[in-house]
Amino acid sequence: MDKPRVIVTRRWPQAVEQVLQRRFDVKLNERDAPMSFAELQQALREADALCPTVTDGITAELLDTADMRVRLLANFGVGFNHIDIAAARKRGISVTNTPDVLTDCTADLAMTLLLMVARRAGEGERELRAGRWQGWRPTHMTGAKVTGKTLGLVGFGRIARAMARKAHFGFGMRILFHTRSPVHAEVRNALGATPVANLDEMLAECDFVSLHCPGGAATRHLINGARLAAMGSRAFLINTARGDVVDHDALIAALRERRIAGAGLDVYPGEPQVPPALLGLDNVVLLPHLGSASDETRIAMGMRVIDNLQDFFDGRVPQDRVV
Ligand code: DGY
């Protein structure tokens, strides 16, 4: 029997590409540049499964391609807001993602941003590299203490819980969270985390707010000017979720006027473009979407895609089925 035809939209870790090539009839993206709309259309006509990432817009228009052969979109990544799920469902295409394996690394990166922005690590490094460091002095580049402060989590899924664990047990932080999903008392008690039903009330209590909700229409600009105002001038915003969750015009104004203390960002609307005004601000730490970027995690994500492909083509329900 012929091996299923699988098309991968970006380079994956070598160890994963090798396994993929052994198991399937694979077309890799040697250039590692995002595929154009026409290239994605061609891939949908040619492949049994397409393996996209966050850089591929799998829109309703794309999924309207005539003569599609694809039956599975096996996403490399946990977030799938770049895929029009309703359109996939309508066309009878299954979708899978890669949860669990990136939980700790993404929470680690959120903690990295939190520490960097609070303790002015980016600013300090820029000063030193530019040869501007004048030596130790009691008033030099003092930032905000992290240990013992209050952290508010927006969303309380796997990554938020991992962050709660690190922040509470590692840094003695008080943990608040806001979510619409029910959370068992045992789970929240084990993490020392307190639910707050009203988001604005939670924001007003926090020294740090970290976003862990999915992207997409339901959460677009959830953090807007009014909510940044509710956070107040001592609070820092951390975003490792999706760029669209934050109204960036409002964020830039709040940072510029010091109406919030600072922000640590890993994600942006319209990546890889970054709003130019952010680049000139010292009270923001900017990373290029590195949440899951450890060798171990990127390999585990790829292997998880392979497990999903294998399940699907062997006639089992993939463990990470979205639709
Ligand atoms: C994820 O897994 O969702 C990462 O943000 C990359 O898409």
What distance in angstroms lies between residue 134's CA and the mean position of ligand 1's atoms? Answer: 40
- Which atom belonging to ligand 1 lies closest to the Cα atom of 289? 5
Ligand 1 contacts CB of residue 102 (under 6 A): yes
207 touches 238 (CB < 8 A) = no
What the block records as the tokens of 167 is: 């922040």
Atom of ligand 1 nearest to the CA of 53: 7
- What spacing in Å lies between the alpha carbon of 78 and ligand 1's midpoint? 5
For 55-95, write each residue's pLDDT tens digit. 999 999 999 999 999 999 999 999 999 999 999 999 999 99
Ligand 1 atom having least distance to the Cα of 98 = 2
Whether 5-101+295-313 shares its CATH topology with 103-286 is answered: yes
Q: Could you tell me the distance, in angstroms and rounded to a whole number, from the CA of residue 193 to the centre of ligand 1? A: 25
pLDDT score of 1: 76
Ligand 1 touching residue 54 (CB < 6 A): yes
The domain limits of the chain are 5-101+295-313, 103-286
User: What does each C-alpha distance from 247 to 76, 211, 268, 282, 286 come to in angstroms?
Assistant: 26, 13, 10, 19, 16
Alpha-carbon Rg for the chain, nearest whole angstrom, is 21
- Residue 269, amino acid: P
pLDDT string in tens for the chain (323-residue length): 799 999 999 999 999 999 999 999 999 999 999 999 999 999 999 999 999 999 999 999 999 999 999 999 999 999 999 999 999 999 999 999 999 999 999 999 999 999 999 999 999 999 999 999 999 999 999 999 999 999 999 999 999 999 999 999 999 999 999 999 999 999 999 999 999 999 999 999 999 999 999 999 999 999 999 999 999 999 999 999 999 999 999 999 999 999 999 999 999 999 999 999 999 999 999 999 999 999 999 999 999 999 999 999 999 999 999 99
Q: How far is the CA of 56 from the centre of ligand 1 (A)?
A: 12
Which residue out of 76, 78, 80 has the highest number of ligand 1 atoms within 8 Å of its CB and is therefore the one to mutate? Answer: 78
Of the chain, the percentage scoring pLDDT greater than 90 comes to 100
- Tell me the CA–centroid distance for residue 241 and ligand 1, in Å: 8
Catalytic residues, by residue number, are 242, 271, 289
Q: Is 78 close to ligand 1, i.e. is its CB under 6 Å away?
A: yes
Residue nearest to atom 3 of ligand 1 (CA): 79
pLDDT at position 75: 98
Work out which ligand 1 atom sits closest to the CA atom of 97: 2
Using alpha carbons, select from 288, 266, 278 the residue that is nearest to residue 107: 266
Measured between alpha carbons, how far is 16 from 98 in angstroms, rounded to an integer?
14
**What would the CATH number be for the domain defined by 103-286?**
3.40.50.720
DSSP secondary-structure letter at 211? Answer: E
Per the CB < 8 A criterion, the answer to whether 207 and 235 are in contact is yes
What superfamily does domain 5-101+295-313 belong to in CATH? NAD(P)-binding Rossmann-like Domain (3.40.50.720)
